[in-house]
Amino acid sequence: MSDPVNSISEWLRTILSGWGLSEGLITVILAVLGVVILATIVLVVDIMLVWIERKMVARFQDRLGPNRVGPFGIIQPIADVIKLLIKEDILPDGADRFIFNIAPIFALATVLLLWAVVPFAPTIIGADINVAVLYIVAIGSIGTLAIIMAGWASNNKYALLGAFRTVALLIAYEVPMVIALLVPVLLARSMGMQTIVAAQSPWYIFVVPLAALILFVSSIAELGRTPFDISEAESEIVAGFHIEYTGMKFGLFYAGELLHALTVSALIATLFLGGWRGPFVDQVPILGPVYLFIKAFLVYYLIMWVRYSFPRIRIDQMLGFNWKFLTPLALFLLVVVAILDKAMVGVSQVQYVLVMLGANLLIVWGTVIILRTYARVERKRVGEERAVAIAPESDLADLVGQE
Amino acid sequence: MTVFQAIFLVVAVVTLGGAVMVVTVRNLIHAALWLILSLFGVAVMYGLLSAPFFTVIQVVIYIGAIAILMIFAIMLTRRVAQEPGSSVNKGWWMAGLMSLVLFTALVWMFSTWSGFQTTLPQLPEGIDTIKVLGTALVSPDGYVIPFEIASVLLLAALIGAVVVAWERKT
Amino acid sequence: MISLSYFLVFAAALFCIGLYGVLARKNAIAVLMGIELMLNAVVINLIAFWRFRTPEMIAGQAFGVIVFAVAAAEVAVGLALFIAIFRRRNTIAADEIDLLKW
């Protein structure tokens, strides 16, 4: 009872070997079964996410949200899926048929692949590989590929523009994200997810809160959500890379986007909020997934909160924010954490955590001062009187001279 | 035939097929996508050689960075990619002949070597190759100098790429 | 049982396909793709020699890491060069970029 997943797997193994199947074949069957079950659970959660997201955005915007289909509108996503399924499937003129069709599959599949390394409980994990953190980065880069394929194959200039913007964004924000991911790796001395979770006493958010914040911000950018949603800025490029997609192909992009948000939340929860750790989880491993999902939904709520509270920023501001601010900050933090970690060999855990936390807060304080100075300069620059019309240099001099 | 051999053959056929498409297909975007398939096959090969670190690094660097940069460059120079005319130069058959000769020569040379049929040895027990690799790359008795030179090279390439591609406003 | 020969022949084939691409293709980016294939073949050889001959020494993997870094640097500079050439000459066909100075 304490560990249902492994006992069920053992039970199935006994039954299958009773049928006279070979050991290797049983392992393959059980692995496939596990993949199918995990993917199904995740996709069912994904359908519910549509409802959660729509209900939450309605609350943030002082509306009621879906409330017609079923109690509290909870059947609404099913109705949405049926609508998407019976819509006409359009292939745009001049589109690259194969790439156009395969891109949405890639978009959803890459998100599903990420769940392979999320540990649900001490004994329940898809694959406890020793390069899990790098694996997350690798799968993220395949997601980029799906977007560029969709944008190019659509044969539409808005789609291509959206894809270009997204890829510039994804490649840029990958840098601070990877550096922020390195911090828990450095503290736990492993890239394996289970080791990182096991090493978290206390949770890393209390040790290196700044790394968690950087990861959170760059993850929002990776997700392409507001304030970083220039990839599908409706007022500029209509819908971005998925402009030409209809019906369930669009549905796959939509599902992938929502699920990506929850997946990233689960990863942040695993890396910084202790994953499956919680009271009594050692006695009852089945509590692990419950804790993990509670934490993941907490992070998901924060992502939604940011999404519906901030306006979109321009692409030059966004790239400038990444290269001039987030990346140097993340690098500086990594160096500081590495030096402190090396310097504090042998000190007690309480001292270690306090010094790390203090260093983090000190960096935050310094950053805020720098930002405030920059904001003052920028306000002054923007507030200056400037010639409005764009004129040749000589005319401009005349204009200024007349005043 | 063992399972290992079967996996190897399937992956090898996919990889080499992808590679052939890369060098023959006319549409450059398609060539880049075939290249990605081929590189992915190589990543699986690293997995078969029990080097998981290289599998993920291959996907991160080659697919996530190099292939995407290439697609970008192809799109930025798009007028050329759709240019009519042959995609190969006049001496293509000589190139093909040379490749074939080189392949035959390589295989013949390998087959005369005594270690050609080395079978898969057991990995040393209880050693985390990633940890060993990490230590070797930064330890003074290991590969710290090539490692640092590679970092300087990357920095130089970063600055060089910016300088070369910079559009000077005249 | 699989032997080193499998990987060596595979890497040699990949290298030769890449070589054909480098020699035969007109477009400079296609040439670069051929170079990537050749570099990959080299890394496969390095890893295969490590795995089959000296699994207790890490030298093969360390060399592989360096090759990866060099490949990334090469692509960054190469593509920057092609874009700069394209801006000035409006072509990236390798056989049309034949002037030493213009």
Is residue B155 predicted with pLDDT exceeding 80?
yes
pLDDT tens for each residue of B42-52: 999 898 888 88
Chains B and A touch (3+ CB pairs under 8 A): yes
- Per the structure, the count of domains in chain C is 1
Put simply, whether C96 touches B (Cβ < 8 Å) is no
Is residue A178 predicted with pLDDT exceeding 80?
yes
Residue, of A221 and B2, whose pLDDT is higher: A221
Q: What is the pLDDT of residue B26?
A: 82
**CATH number of the domain where residue C77 is located:** 1.10.287.3510
pLDDT tens for each residue of C58-94: 888 888 889 889 888 988 888 888 888 888 777 777 7
Alpha-carbon distance of B119 to C2, in angstroms, equals 6
Residue contact A148–B60, C-beta within 8 A: no
Residue contact B60–A129, C-beta within 8 A: no
Q: Which residues of A touch B75 (CB under 8 A)?
A: 152, 160, 164
What is the band of A78 on the pLDDT scale with cuts at 50, 70, 90? confident
Q: What is the pLDDT of residue A2?
A: 57
Q: What is the pLDDT of residue B42?
A: 92
Which of B56, B67, B75 lies nearest to residue A131, judging by beta carbons? B56
User: Testing the interface with B: which of A23, A136, A142, A161 to mutate, by most B Cβ within 10 A?
Assistant: A142
Residue contact C26–B162, C-beta within 8 A: no
Q: How far does the CA of residue B87 sit from the closest CA of chain A (Å)? A: 20
Is residue C102 predicted with pLDDT exceeding 80?
no
C68: in domain: yes
In angstroms, what is the C-alpha Rg of chain C?
17
- Mean pLDDT, chain A, rounded, equals 82
What is the mean pLDDT of the segment spanning A200-205? 84
Alpha-carbon distance of A379 to B104, in angstroms, equals 69
pLDDT tens for each residue of A238-259: 777 777 788 788 888 888 888 8
What is the band of C15 on the pLDDT scale with cuts at 50, 70, 90? very high
Q: What is the pLDDT of residue B101?
A: 92
- The mean-pLDDT minimum among A387-396, B154-163, C19-28, C59-68 falls in A387-396
C76: in domain: yes
Which of these, A118, A146, C42, lies nearest to B42 by C-alpha position? C42
SS (H, E, C) B118-164: CECCCCCCCCCHHHHHHHHHHCCCCCHHHHHHHHHHHHHHHHHHHHH
User: Testing the interface with A: which of B40, B56, B127, B155 to mutate, by most A Cβ within 10 A?
Assistant: B56
Extents of the domains making up chain A: 1-86, 87-378
Residue numbers of the domain that contains C33: 4-89
Residue contact A134–B75, C-beta within 8 A: no
Q: What is the pLDDT of residue C43?
A: 92
Residue contact A138–B52, C-beta within 8 A: no
The enclosing H or E element of A212 equals helix A209-223
Q: What is the pLDDT of residue A313?
A: 82
pLDDT tens for each residue of A322-377: 888 889 999 999 999 899 888 888 888 888 888 888 888 888 899 899 889 988 88
Alpha-carbon distance of A59 to A403, in angstroms, equals 52
Q: What is the pLDDT of residue A389?
A: 58
Q: How far does the CA of residue B114 sit from the closest CA of chain C (Å)? A: 11
Residue contact B162–C80, C-beta within 8 A: yes
CB count in 10 Å sphere of residue C27: 23
Is residue B88 predicted with pLDDT exceeding 60?
yes
Q: What is the pLDDT of residue A388?
A: 62
Length of chain B equals 170
- The mean-pLDDT minimum among A222-231, A245-254, B20-29 falls in A222-231
Q: Which residues of C touch B103 (CB under 8 A)?
A: 12-13, 16
Alpha-carbon distance of C81 to C33, in angstroms, equals 15
Task: Locate the chain B residue with the closest alpha carbon to A140.
Answer: B64
Q: What is the pLDDT of residue B38?
A: 92
- What is the number of CB-based contacts under 8 A between chain B and chain C? 255
Is residue A391 predicted with pLDDT exceeding 60?
no
A93-97, A134-138, B26-30: which has the highest mean pLDDT?
A134-138
Q: Which residues of C touch B77 (CB under 8 A)?
A: 29, 82-83, 86, 92
* ipTM of this complex: 0.87
Alpha-carbon distance of A304 to A140, in angstroms, equals 21
pTM here is 0.85
My answer on whether omega of the bond before A227 falls inside 30° of 0, hence cis, is yes
Residue contact A141–B65, C-beta within 8 A: yes
C102: in domain: no
Residue contact B64–A191, C-beta within 8 A: no
pLDDT tens for each residue of A278-326: 777 777 777 888 888 888 889 999 988 888 888 888 788 888 888 888 8
Give the rounded percent of residues in chain A with a pLDDT score beyond 70.
Answer: 92
Q: What's the distance, CA B157 to chain centroid? A: 19
Put simply, whether B59 touches A (Cβ < 8 Å) is yes
C33: in domain: yes
Q: How far does the CA of residue B88 sit from the closest CA of chain C (Å)? A: 4
Task: Locate the chain A residue with the closest alpha carbon to B43.
Answer: A138
Answer for the pair A312, A226: CB distance below 8 angstroms, yes or no: yes
